Amino acid sequence: MPKRRRGPNRLVAALLHDGLAAFETGIVAEVFGLHRPEMQPDWYRFVTVAEKPGPLRATGGLQVIAQAGLERLADAGTIVIPCWRTDGTPPSPAVRASLLAAYDRGARIVSICSGAFLLAACGLLAGRKATTHWLHAEKLRTMYPTVDVDANVLYVDAGQILTSAGSAAGVDLLLHVVRKDFGAKIANEVARRMVVAPHREGGQAQFIERPIPAHAGGRLGPLLEAIRRQPAARWTVAHMARRAAMSRRTFIRRFEQSTAMSPGQWVVAARVEAARFLLETGASELDDVALKAGFGTSAGLRHHFKRHVGVTPSAYRAQFSLPRRRSIGARSS
């Protein structure tokens, strides 16, 4: 008698810990834990797992009680770590052994936001590209130098290991998992139920506040502030050097030592920040934004903005601009 072919393992286990993040845990339950009779019959089954029984503290003063212990990870086809500690505290031997055993048997392991720290601590990200919330990216890179940390993307699919950036980027990754398992149509249905976009343009870079380095003192400090105030001025290296009362060679050397950027890179970064502000206020057309920010043309603005921020100026404005106030007495459409 021929053996019955086994289908994919649809059991998803969320590994929780004391001090868990409520939002990240909630979106995992939303995607994998809701009963969805309209979906295919082999839809996910969901279980929450913790190392020890009892209530776990969550952000916002909530308490969560996991359904099962670590032994349930041995049954899961997918394990999700919604978050983890970022202070360098190593996982317990039991948690580490359970994750490594799951990886060795082929389970898919997914992390959201700070969950990447647990994967890195277990050695599962060594030599791999991964991401986390941009606030934690440098810490992850420093603590685990063998991890190729990309702070700009919303998520990384490295095959058996998948990582996402912070908070809402977890939704992007979880929908990506659904898309891989069930196809775009089903993923779009789940996104529609959640009232979110099934796919977002760009990466994490568009959400990162990039303060322009200004820790340079002496004669460079006033110069950097002047560039901030007047990004559209003609800031050539020769002009900046004269303004700082230095020779061209000395100016370039001291500038790079103080800012870790070349003068040209710094000016472009200042202009991108000026463009971001103008786009967020929504008061100017793109040609005007390009002129006021110092890029000259909308083509120059698009080139540098997309390179630094990861999305086009138009897409950034659509996502981040403040709504324009309707004038008093204006007709309603």
The domain spanning residue 181 has which CATH number? Answer: 3.40.50.880
Q: Hey, what are 16's tokens?
A: 């929780």
Mean pLDDT, residues 244-265: 88
Q: What mean pLDDT value characterizes the chain?
A: 86
Q: What is the pLDDT of residues 146-201, one digit of tens each?
A: 999 988 888 999 999 999 998 888 998 999 999 889 888 888 888 888 887 766 65
**Could you give the percent of the chain with pLDDT greater than 70?**
87
Q: Is 155 helix (H, G, I), strand (E, B) or coil?
A: strand
130 phi and psi, to 5 degrees?
-155, 170
Number of domains in the chain: 2
Specify the higher pLDDT residue, 204 or 56: 56
Enter the pTM of the model.
Answer: 0.67
140 and 63 share one domain:
yes
User: What is the per-residue pLDDT for 3?
Assistant: 44
Q: Hey, what are 64's tokens?
A: 């969560």
Which residue range is the domain that position 305 belongs to? 220-320
Task: Establish if 327 belongs to a structural domain.
Answer: no
Range with lowest mean pLDDT among 123-132, 154-163, 212-221, 323-332: 323-332
The domain spanning residue 228 has which CATH number? Answer: 1.10.10.60
pLDDT of 10 over the 90 cut: yes
Mean pLDDT, residues 78-91: 95
Task: Establish if 214 belongs to a structural domain.
Answer: no
Bridge partner list, 48: 14
58 and 192 share one domain:
yes
Task: Establish if 180 belongs to a structural domain.
Answer: yes
What are the start-end ranges of the E strands in the chain?
A: 11-15, 45-49, 55-58, 62-65, 78-81, 108-111, 129-130, 148-149, 155-157, 161-164
